[in-house]
Amino acid sequence: MGSTPEAVVPQTPSTAPGFYQGTGRRKRAVARVALRPGTGRIDVNGKPAEVYFHAMLPLQREMLLLDPFRVTGTQDQFDVKTTISGGGIPA
């Protein structure tokens, strides 16, 4: 007669609506990316993308980082947090 209560599952960041994550690997390099609803901020290893990719020309950096969002019509809708380790250009 009474309805059974539905289980309440708390939402962790990985199960929250609009949260996406992925991991890419090549040889010894690993990149972990998390997208969540936001204002378009992009951080790489805890630094703003402009600081992390300082050696790139601004137009190259903009194309590399923002074109996927432009193509999908989601520019300024997600914040991106990326952790990169291994590989890369030697300092």
Q: What percent of the chain has pLDDT over 90?
A: 54
Q: Would you state the pLDDT for residue 39?
A: 94
Predicted confidence (pLDDT) per residue in 8-31, tens digit:
555 556 667 788 999 999 988 999
Q: Determine whether 11 is exposed, middle or buried from the number of CB atoms within 10 Å of its CB (0-12, 13-18, 19+).
A: exposed
In this structure, what is the dihedral angle of CA atoms 29, 34, 40, 42, given to the nearest 10 degrees? Answer: -30
